[in-house]
Chains A and B, each alone.
Chain A
Amino acid sequence: MDSQSYLPVPPGVGMEENFLSLDDILLSHERLPSRTECLFPRLGFLEKSTDSQDIQEGTKMELPLWLAKGLYERKRRVVSIELPKVYREGWRTVFNADPTVVDLHKMGPYYYGLGSQMLHFDSPENPEIAQALLQTFIGRFRRTMDSSQNVYNEDTSALVDRLDCLERVLFKMGQRGLNSFQGWEKGRASHLTASTLVLNYRKRKMTDLQA
């Protein structure tokens, strides 16, 4: 049986994040260019470029997503977030033209995740961003499906390089289905193999305990 011994919490796709998901935690480390709208007294040590004691109004800083989401308020008194380059007009037309040639891993490994989180920040371009995300996903789906279902027992790093994290998960699922089918066809399904949990947990030898 290929069911896992423990199931990690999956990332929340879309505008919600799962609190316990490791992928979402890593995603929220992405930095966003932003501008402070009010004074942050005595926090000058966070801003390395100026030497003042506080962060002045109107400073441009890079804030991680978790901080930006927490500080953002509808009345926009605290910070205002700019869209990263990848979600702006220029790149959106590139994605519209041909989504399959873009190296999504380079554009930030969490392209879809971060894009969905950006929709929290009430930018006037929100509908276009959401549409662009969807269309990019649909455009690249064919490539992901074909490559995941046809590569067996070869080095997949060249294919997986250009995929973003969401697509990598899908790729792995496709590979798993393919591998289990091929394994069954070869008759390897009836071989007993050690569970991965046992393999990873190596018993300490008596000599190590006594040392």
Chain B
Amino acid sequence: MDPSEVEFLAEKEIVKIIPNFSLDKIYLIGGDLGPFNPGLPVQVPVWLALNLKQRQKCRILPPPWMDVDKLEEVREMERKEDSFTPPPSPYYMELTKLLLNHASDNIPKADEIRTLVKDIWDTRIAKLRLSADSFISQQEAHAKLDNLTLMEINTTRSFLLDSLNCMFKLRSNMQPGTSAGKALDY
């Protein structure tokens, strides 16, 4: 899976905006988007929010978790625990990148938020690697990890699956079983 695909899935999340135009309720296949009145906050998906922002028709409000103090707490908790803590949002990495790239003027302390999110990401990826390593070195049959976001899974997916494949095949060497001169023809 591409990171762009994960970003596409993240754009479905809901965010609050303050439009500066007015429009009646629109009825889309995915659901209804409430009437837009200038100055009144309304909840829309991220893809629409970004589009309106680029056309300068709205102001984006940062989501509740995108706050310096809250993110600092999350970071401290992440560093203390050995297992994964629930992330601020299931798509925190993508939303941070999208909102901070397009709407950084609407979000206070954008640079600090970027640094904090990067720290959280690094800690979680390090934990993921540690867990993958112990998975392989103890040759477990299955592992369960809670609270991982799709982007983190996506970065390690191909490498981990290939190494597990190799390990499985090397393990099957130990039981020769039925492999007397089998050759695969394609």
Contact = CB atoms under 8 A, between A and B. Distances in A.
Interface of A: 1-2, 9, 12-20, 112, 116, 119-120, 126-127, 130-131, 133-134, 137-139, 141-142, 145-146, 148-149, 166, 169-170, 173-174, 176-178, 180-181, 183-185, 187, 189-190
Is the contact region of chain A dominated by helix, strand, or loop, or is it mixed? helix
Given A13-B166, A139-B137, A145-B159, 18 more contacts: A13-B165, A14-B172, A16-B179, A16-B184, A17-B183, A19-B185, A20-B186, A112-B166, A120-B181, A130-B170, A134-B173, A138-B137, A142-B137, A145-B133, A169-B162, A174-B159, A177-B159, A181-B151
Interface of B: 2-4, 7, 97, 101, 129, 132-133, 136-137, 139, 151, 154-159, 162-163, 165-167, 169-174, 176, 179, 181-186
B159 A173 contact: yes
Contacts of B4: 184, 189-190
A121 B91 CA distance: 53
Contacts of B155: 177-178, 181
Nearest to A131: B174
Contacts of B171: 134
Contact of B166 (A1, A137, A148): A137
Contacts, number: 114
Contacts of B185: 19
Nearest to B101: A187
Contact of A14 (B129, B137, B170): B170
Nearest to B137: A138
B139 to A, nearest CB: 7
Most chain-A Cβ atoms within 10 A of its Cβ — which of B159, B184, B186? B159
A185 B97 contact: yes
- 8 pairs of A and B residues whose beta carbons are closest in the complex: A184-B3, A14-B169, A13-B169, A130-B173, A174-B159, A130-B174, A189-B4, A134-B170
Most chain-B Cβ atoms within 10 A of its Cβ — which of A112, A119, A145? A145
Contacts of B181: 120
A133 B182 contact: no
A87 to B, nearest CB: 12
A180 B136 CA distance: 24
B150 to A, nearest CB: 12
25 contacts: A1-B2, A2-B2, A13-B166, A14-B170, A15-B173, A16-B183, A18-B184, A18-B186, A112-B166, A119-B173, A120-B181, A141-B167, A142-B137, A145-B133, A146-B129, A170-B159, A170-B166, A174-B159, A178-B155, A183-B3, A184-B2, A184-B3, A184-B4, A184-B7, A189-B3
Contact of B184 (A12, A120, A127, A130): A12
A127 B174 contact: yes
B129 A149 contact: yes
Contacts of B7: 184, 189
A2 B97 CA distance: 21
A56 to B, nearest CB: 29
A93 B174 CA distance: 18
A19 B182 CA distance: 11
B76 to A, nearest CB: 24
Contacts of A9: 186
B136 A177 contact: no
Nearest to A13: B169
Most chain-A Cβ atoms within 10 A of its Cβ — which of B129, B173, B174? B173
